[in-house]
């Protein structure tokens, strides 16, 4: 015994005074009519079966009972390896562990890990987190996995996923010149692998080894005009030379006046609006951050809602599809409309948010915190998070009306 480690020497005299086996003994062991044993040392012996198969086994006692551990066939397991495995089993016994049970547990774990593929773990990770995501975001993440991950490494057990496997997968995204997406897929895989580590199905987060491995790219922003270009946009919307549907024009105006996200507007239903209280309550399940959002309604937005009510009634979606009334307007309608108005690649639906943020702060002199809350951004500092999100509601209500009035003033001068 040395430092608590229990070891048996390779050369030892087995019970009965016989010398320990040599490799030559093992090689020349011939089958007989009945199986027989060639003893080595420390309970290790070679079981020579009538079929000619030779198997290493270890006889030991655990909790007062005699037990048997099958180590493996000779020559697959050499004499030296069999003795090493015997010593490991003896060390387990010294620590109060049954080596046969330990072997069964290891096999069961290996079988389980073999079924825990990247796809299985990723889908479980997605299901665990989707209740905290907006439905559209959850769908987007699942689509990203199905397109960029599952076809290439989806069936790889996550426990054996290597850096090279992951890099090859992400390089396929880079091959399509989707450099931004490649970085996003790597980030997503980091979250999935860390989930696997936490749940005991991976040893470590291998994505850290890919730092600097992907091609660099210049991160862009959603296209948006600035405050000086706003009068021209208002003029283009009012003139409507592109002959857009009336509901599309109303949608553009509502994007400008409320600066919500495109998905939040097109999926809005009439039951979310309280015209009397001049408030639009977007439920948490439709918000990116899964927090209920309040949008104060200006008189101008209420007038637009009345127009929509005359067009389609006050049930279901406020902006139904022009072709299927039970479905919302397409997510690309706003972007295509801006393109037809002459703002291809210079303005997007998301751009209305950036435009409102900069213009309201610059022209109407509102504090960043007030505009930021109206944009439904998650507070970043611990101090901000300590405050209720509705803290600035009175200021936001005043701001939204002033913003709508400011837009009307620009229309007159456009």
User: Which pLDDT does position 5 carry in this prediction?
Assistant: 36
Q: Where are the alpha helices (DSSP H) in 149-270?
A: 150-153, 163-174, 179-198, 230-239, 246-258, 262-266
Is 367 found in the same domain as 235? yes
Longest dimension (CA), the chain: 112
What mean pLDDT comes out for the span 295-305?
96
Q: Do 319 and 403 sit in the same domain of this protein?
A: yes
In the prediction, which pLDDT does 4 show?
38
Q: What is the pLDDT of residues 11-57, one digit of tens each?
A: 344 444 456 899 999 999 999 999 999 999 999 999 999 999 999 99
Looking at the structure, tell me whether residues 199 and 244 fall in a common domain.
no
Cα–Cα distance measured from residue 181 to residue 171, given in angstroms and rounded to the nearest whole number: 11
Supply 42's token pair. 């420390």
| Lowest mean pLDDT across 6-15, 135-144, 182-191 | 6-15
183 and 309 housed in the same domain: no
Tell me, what's the pLDDT at 385?
52
CATH number of the domain bearing residue 50: 3.30.160.390
pLDDT at 341 over 60: yes
Q: What is the pTM of this model?
A: 0.54
Q: Does 222 fall in a domain?
A: no
Kindly state the average pLDDT of the residues 131-141: 83
* Catalytic (active site) residue 261: yes
Name the active-site residue from 104, 277, 344, 387. 387
Q: Are 303 and 406 in contact (CB under 8 A)?
A: no
Contact in structure between 379 and 369 (CB atoms under 8 Å): no
Please confirm, yes or no, whether 353 is among the known catalytic residues: yes
Share of the chain above pLDDT 70, in %: 90
The average pLDDT across 177-181 equals 87
What lies within 8 Å, CB to CB, of 165 at 6+ separation is 153, 156
| pLDDT > 50? residue 260 | yes
pLDDT of residue 10: 37
Burial level of 155, CB count in 10 A (0-12/13-18/19+)? Answer: exposed
Instruction: Judge whether 285 lies within some domain.
Output: yes
The predicted structure's pLDDT at residue 388: 47
Q: Are residues 314 and 378 both part of a single domain? A: yes
- Region 204-228: mean pLDDT is 80
Q: How far apart are CA 279 and CA 21, in angstroms?
A: 88
**Do 95 and 239 fall within a single domain?**
no
- In the DSSP assignment, the letter for residue 316 is S
| Domain contains 315 | yes
350 has catalytic annotation: yes
Nearest alpha carbon to residue 178 among 147, 206, 135, 146: 147
Q: For residue 201, how far is the Cα from the chain centroid? A: 16
Residues 152 and 201 in one domain: yes
Give the pLDDT of residue 53: 94
Q: Is residue 58 part of a domain?
A: yes
Is residue 409 scored above 90 in pLDDT?
yes
**Which of 15-29, 110-124, 326-340 shows the lowest mean pLDDT across its residues?**
15-29
Q: Provide the number of structural domains found in the chain.
A: 3
Whether residue 171 is predicted with pLDDT greater than 60 in this model: the reply is yes
400 within domain boundaries:
yes
Of the candidates 183, 201, 253, 261, the residue annotated as catalytic is: 261
**Does residue 219 carry a pLDDT above 60?**
no
Region of 393 please: left (phi>0), alpha (psi -120 to 50) or beta.
alpha
| Residue 370, burial from CB neighbour count under 10 angstroms (0-12, 13-18, 19+) | buried
Domain membership of residue 283 (yes or no) is yes
Q: What is the mean pLDDT of the chain?
A: 87
158-172, 174-188, 349-363, 379-393: the lowest-pLDDT one: 379-393
Same domain, 281 and 317: yes
Spot the catalytic one: 83, 183, 353, 373.
Answer: 353
Residue 148 has pLDDT above 90, yes or no: yes
Q: How far is CA 343 from the centre of its chain?
A: 34
Domain boundary residue, one of 210, 239, 255: 210
Q: Is the pLDDT assigned to residue 284 strictly greater than 60?
A: yes
pLDDT score of 222: 64
Burial class (CB in 10 A: 0-12, 13-18, 19+), 201: buried
pLDDT at position 1 over 60: no
Instruction: Decide: helix, strand or coil at residue 206.
Output: helix
Residue whose token pair is 């290790």: 44
Q: Kindly tell me if the per-residue pLDDT of 340 is higher than 80.
A: yes
- Give the separation between CA 265 and CA 353, rounded to whole angstroms: 13
Q: Of these residues, 103, 146, 178, 288, which one is catalytic?
A: 288
Among 85-89, 172-176, 342-346, which is the least confidently predicted range? 342-346
Q: Which of 175, 210, 245 finishes a domain? A: 210
Domain of 124, CATH number, reads 1.10.150.130
Active-site residue identified among 85, 350, 373, 396: 350
For 60, the domain range is 23-100
Q: Where are the alpha helices (DSSP H) in 130-161?
A: 135-148, 150-153
Return the SS3 of 280: strand
- Catalytic annotation present for 377: yes
Report in angstroms the alpha-carbon separations of 31 from 20, 285, 371. Answer: 20, 72, 87
Within-domain flag for 46: yes
């Amino acid at each position: 015994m040395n430092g608590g480690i229990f070891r048996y020497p390779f050369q030892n005299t087995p019970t009965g005074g016989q010398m320990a086996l040599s490799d030559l003994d093992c090689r020349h062991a011939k089958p007989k009519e009945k199986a027989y044993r060639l003893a080595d040392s420390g309970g290790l012996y070679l079981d020579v079966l009538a079929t000619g198969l030779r198997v290493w086994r270890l006889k030991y006692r655990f909790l007062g009972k005699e037990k048997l551990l099958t180590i493996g066939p000779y020559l697959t397991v050499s004499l030296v390896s069999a003795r090493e495995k015997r010593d490991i089993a003896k060390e387990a016994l010294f620590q109060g562990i049954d080596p046969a049970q330990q072997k069964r547990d290891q096999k069961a774990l290996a079988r389980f890990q073999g079924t825990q593929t990247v796809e299985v773990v990723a889908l479980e990770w997605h299901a665990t987190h989707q209740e905290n995501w907006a439905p559209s975001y959850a769908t987007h993440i699942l689509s990203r996995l199905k397109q960029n991950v599952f076809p290439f490494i989806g069936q790889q057990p996550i426990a054996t996923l290597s850096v090279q496997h992951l890099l090859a997968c992400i390089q396929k995204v880079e091959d399509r010149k989707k450099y931004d997406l490649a970085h996003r897929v790597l980030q997503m895989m980091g979250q999935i692998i860390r989930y696997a580590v936490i749940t005991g199905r991976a040893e470590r987060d291998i994505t850290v080894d890919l730092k600097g491995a992907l091609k660099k790219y210049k991160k862009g922003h959603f296209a948006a005009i600035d405050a000086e270009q706003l009068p021209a946009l208002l003029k283009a919307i009012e003139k409507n030379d592109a002959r857009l549907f009336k509901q599309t024009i109303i949608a553009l105006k509502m994007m400008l006046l409320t600066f919500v996200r495109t998905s939040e507007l097109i999926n809005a239903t009439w039951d979310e609006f309280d015209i009397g209280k001049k408030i639009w309550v977007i439920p948490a399940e439709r918000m990116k951050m899964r927090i209920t959002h309040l949008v104060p309604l200006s008189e101008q937005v209420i007038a637009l809602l009345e127009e929509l009510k005359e067009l389609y009634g006050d049930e279901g979606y406020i902006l139904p599809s022009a072709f299927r009334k039970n479905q919302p307007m397409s997510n690309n309608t706003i972007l295509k409309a801006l393109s037809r108005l002459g703002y291809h690649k210079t303005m997007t639906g998301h751009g209305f948010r950036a435009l409102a943020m900069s213009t309201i702060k610059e022209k109407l002199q509102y504090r960043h915190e007030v505009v930021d809350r109206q944009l439904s951004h998650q507070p970043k500092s611990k101090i901000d998070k300590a405050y209720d999100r509705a803290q600035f509601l009175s200021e936001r209500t005043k701001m939204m009306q002033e913003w709508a009035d400011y837009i009307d003033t620009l229309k007159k001068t456009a």
